[in-house]
Amino acid sequence: MDLIPTPDQVVAAAGNVAHTVLYGGLADLRPMPRTLIDDGELREVYHYRPAKDVPETGDPVLLVTPLAAPALCFDLRRGCSLVEHLVSQGRPTYLVEYGQVSFKNRALGVEHWVDEVLPEAIRTVHEHSGGRGVHLVGWSLGGIFGLLVAADRQDLPIASLTVVGSPVDVTKVPLVAPVRPLLNLTQGRGAITRAYRALGGIPQPLVNWAFTAASAQKIVTKPLAVLTHLDDTDYLAQLEAVDRFRANMIAYPGRTFGQLYHRFVKGNSLAGGTMEVGDRTIDLGAISVPTLVFGGNTDGIAPLPAVRAVVPLLTGSREVRFEVVPGGHLGMLTGRAARGTTWQVLDEWVAQWSGQVPAPARKTSAKKAPARKAAAKKATAKKAPAKKVPAKKVPAKKASAATIGSNPSRRYGSASSRALGQRG
């Protein structure tokens, strides 16, 4: 609104206020219809129903949610829903989420998601879609899970990997960097460790508080933002949808949180390209599938340097592409600007790598997980020398990446992306 509102702005503002008061809000929060096709312990795999008069065609996309955040991140509201966007184009769209975490799940570690949840979801989508390669799209910690699985499981039919706002080097996260030296002083015996062990994890209220605290500046300025945008229906609807997202955070299992806290936050292990999961060390250099990485230009939770740090680690990937897009941690994925930026790049990427012959998928029951994990470890060990062979092709890969962000039709700056492709 202008400082002195025009008559049209006054009418629009009055209509928005009346609609909010009388009908409870402006946002269309109807979820996209979906069907449960597979489930297990903290694993629910959904297939989104095709849109009317738009038949499903092409390779499927599997959306990977992070721990603690609800699947609303991919289906925020009508008009700002990545799911709606994909379905409306006829793209077979799937989602893996984890349900409600309780005290009984406290013993589950990161290996549960890397060995069981995500591999089973990938196989399910592969079979349900008629044997096509699966394009993984993971946001935040979901992207980290995608990286670990793609590096660890070469047998899975993964066609491409997209990582959205996933911080790999936590020393470059301003919210964490100042306190890391203090965390290391306790050697695993600090108050945080004792607290999450006693609680069996991080309960939902604390997760909600932490996410809100990370956006403290926006929370403080929200009343003024609402007042100055009273005539903007779409802006106000987005605020409502984000508020609902924050109110639906999910708890962290105790052991998983402990591993992430000690290895990821305190140890910053992924910055070196490896992470211990179960009884093995996973090396991100083993990822061979094409990998697209998004960084948000105003993301305070996963700043650009923290996300970009993964690029030089992906030495075995067929192609690595880094894109800078507008928005914060959630906004870059499903903000209003994402419609013309992030989603367009994702469409191009999936189309580019569709139709590839997928790796053979093995349908293994959950009871055989230890054997499968051992086999994966053994395979990785045998292929260690060969894993570095793609490094010889880096010049060709970088030549391909030189066009990153060069599409003049996009409405956001991508100088950082082009510089990455031209780096020698």
What is the model's pLDDT at position 218?
56
Q: Which of 5-14, 164-173, 308-317, 356-365 has the highest mean pLDDT?
A: 308-317
Q: Which residue has the higher pLDDT, 227 or 155?
A: 155
* DSSP conformation letters of 198-216: HHTEE-HHHHHHHHHHHTH
- Pair of tokens at residue 177: 């960097």
In the structure, what pLDDT confidence band is assigned to residue 266 with cuts at 50, 70 and 90? Answer: confident
Phi, psi of 335 (to 5 degrees): -80, 175
What is the model's pLDDT at position 253?
65
Sign of the Cα pseudo-torsion (55, 58, 59, 64, in order): negative
In this structure, is residue 322 part of a structural domain?
yes
In this structure, is residue 324 part of a structural domain?
yes
Distance CA 264, CA 171 (A): 10
Distance CA 380, CA 155 (A): 11
Q: Which residue has the higher pLDDT, 382 or 111?
A: 111
Under 8 Å between Cβ of 162 and 351: no
In this structure, is residue 89 part of a structural domain?
yes
CA end-to-end distance (rounded Å), the chain: 48
Q: How many structural domains are present in the chain?
A: 1
- Pair of tokens at residue 149: 């699985």
Under 8 Å between Cβ of 283 and 387: yes
> What's the length of the chain?
424
Q: Which residues, at least 6 apart from 260, have a Cβ–Cβ distance to it below 8 Å? A: 110, 141, 252
Q: Which CA distances in Å does 174 have to 23, 122, 140, 244, 305?
A: 40, 34, 16, 26, 11
- Burial of 263 from C-beta contacts in 10 A (0-12 / 13-18 / 19+): middle
Express as a percent the part of the chain with pLDDT over 70. Answer: 69
Distance CA 320, CA 285 (A): 12
Express as a percent the part of the chain with pLDDT over 90. Answer: 49
Distance CA 306, CA 170 (A): 6
Lowest mean pLDDT, pick from 17-21, 189-193, 249-253, 362-366? 362-366
- Residue 400's identity, in one-letter code, is S
Distance CA 164, CA 227 (A): 31
Helix (H) or strand (E) holding 398: helix 394-401
Question: Is residue 93 over pLDDT 90?
Answer: yes
Write the CATH number for 325. 3.40.50.1820
What is the model's pLDDT at position 219?
55
In this structure, is residue 415 part of a structural domain?
yes
How crowded is residue 77: how many other Cβ atoms within 10 Å of its Cβ?
Answer: 23
What is the model's pLDDT at position 360?
55
5-34 pLDDT tens trace: 787 777 777 876 777 777 778 889 999 999
What is the model's pLDDT at position 189?
53
Distance CA 102, CA 122 (A): 25
Lowest mean pLDDT, pick from 188-197, 260-269, 409-418? 409-418
Question: Is residue 362 over pLDDT 70?
Answer: no
Lowest mean pLDDT, pick from 124-128, 218-222, 417-421? 417-421
Domain carrying residue 379: 31-176+275-419
Under 8 Å between Cβ of 235 and 229: yes
178-189 pLDDT tens trace: 444 444 444 545
What is the model's pLDDT at position 391?
40
Q: Closest Cα to residue 103, out of 203, 194, 191?
A: 203
In this structure, is residue 281 part of a structural domain?
yes
Exposure letters 200-228 (e unless 16+ CB within 10 A, then b): bbbbbebbbeebeebbeeeeeeeeeeeee
Question: Is residue 283 over pLDDT 50?
Answer: yes
What is the model's pLDDT at position 229?
72
What is the model's pLDDT at position 338?
97
Instruction: Describe the chain by its helix, strand, coil percentages, rounded to 5.
Output: 50, 15, 35
What is the model's pLDDT at position 24?
77
In the structure, what pLDDT confidence band is assigned to residue 370 with cuts at 50, 70 and 90? Answer: very low
Question: Is residue 222 over pLDDT 50?
Answer: yes
Phi, psi of 295 (to 5 degrees): -125, 135
In this structure, is residue 138 part of a structural domain?
yes
Q: Closest Cα to residue 29, out of 244, 273, 193?
A: 244
Q: What is the DSSP letter of 30?
A: P
Question: Is residue 35 over pLDDT 60?
Answer: yes
Under 8 Å between Cβ of 353 and 159: yes
Distance CA 311, CA 31 (A): 34
In this structure, is residue 16 part of a structural domain?
no
What is the model's pLDDT at position 264?
73
In the structure, what pLDDT confidence band is assigned to residue 358 with cuts at 50, 70 and 90? Answer: low
Cα angle 131-135-141, degrees, rounded to a multiple of 5: 135
- Residue 297's identity, in one-letter code, is N
42-86 pLDDT tens trace: 899 999 999 988 999 999 999 999 988 889 999 999 999 999 999
Q: Average pLDDT, stretch 343-363?
A: 80
- Residue 384's identity, in one-letter code, is A
Q: Alpha helix locations (H) across 24-99?
A: 82-88
Cα angle 391-286-404, degrees, rounded to a multiple of 5: 60
Under 8 Å between Cβ of 163 and 292: yes
Phi, psi of 405 (to 5 degrees): 70, 10
In this structure, is residue 217 part of a structural domain?
no
Largest alpha-carbon pair distance within the chain?
A: 73
Phi, psi of 107 (to 5 degrees): -85, -5
